[in-house]
Chain A
Amino acid sequence: EPEVTQTPSHQVTQMGQEVILRCVPISNHLYFYWYRQILGQKVEFLVSFYNNEISEKSEIFDDQFSVERPDGSNFTLKIRSTKLEDSAMYFCASSAPGPNEQFFGPGTRLTVL
């Protein structure tokens, strides 16, 4: 069964450093997403991406964040200057043909020290 994969599974970084989280969506999917979940809290939408551009973003997704699809398979989330409050589990998801049924990767746990 096809699945979304994410790397790394755990990333530890110092405050102010840049991090890039990577995702490989399901191969025939067209919509890609990033969500985050702070420990003990609900899952929150960050951004959706379709046809090589952002289709929707939340208020969390400020100028510190960017997304990219650098090739035909990878989808990345960059955080330019990490803050302590960026510590969370970051989930990538994908869907096709529309944005409805979204399938999640296993997540990257980001710890900012």
Chain B
Amino acid sequence: RKEVEQDPGPFNVPEGATVAFNCTYSNSASQSFFWYRQDCRKEPKLLMSVYSSGNEDGRFTAQLNRASQYISLLIRDSKLSDSATYLCVVIEAGTALIFGKGTTLSVSS
């Protein structure tokens, strides 16, 4: 069974905090990895792809550990606008995105 597992949260943090989300995937042959964000009743929006070497985009850093089948997302200096659900997404083979259920982040002032 294809699985992408995430802690559902919610994570409630103050503005300026650093928060980390984790995700595990079941298929060791998975090929591609992403973080998407989804606002309430909206479409998933690509946040960043995740590479084996790790990658950073502004306040966001993603890491991939293939040996442990583990993906992480770190958000530094949280903003109110970061409040959303963060979706861990994997392509095992072929074309289908396999989504986790998401981790909810609420940033408060």
Contacts and interface: CB of A to CB of B under 8 A. Distances in A.
Interface stretch (A14-22, A38-46, A67-75, A79-87): A38-46
A53 interface: no
Given A31-B95, A56-B95, A101 B100 contact: no
Interface in A41-59: 41-45, 48, 50, 55-56, 58
B23 interface: no
B46 A43 contact: no
Contacts of B91: 99-100
Nearest to A3: B43
B99 A43 contact: yes
Interface string B77-98: 0000000000100010011111
A35 B44 CA distance: 11
Kindly state the interface size class of chain A when it binds its partner.
20 to 34
Nearest to A45: B96
Interface in B59-108: 87, 91, 94-102
Contacts, number: 53
Interface SS of chain A? strand
Contacts of B99: 42-44
B97 A102 contact: yes
B34 A45 contact: no
B43 A104 contact: yes
Contact of B95 (A33, A43, A103, A104): A33
A48 B44 contact: no
Contacts of B102: 42
B43 A48 contact: no
B87 A43 contact: yes
9 contacts: A31-B95, A48-B96, A55-B94, A56-B96, A58-B96, A101-B49, A104-B43, A104-B44, A107-B43
Interface of B: 32, 34, 38, 41-46, 49, 87, 91, 94-102
Interface of A: 31, 33, 35, 41-45, 48, 50, 55-56, 58, 89, 91, 93, 99-107
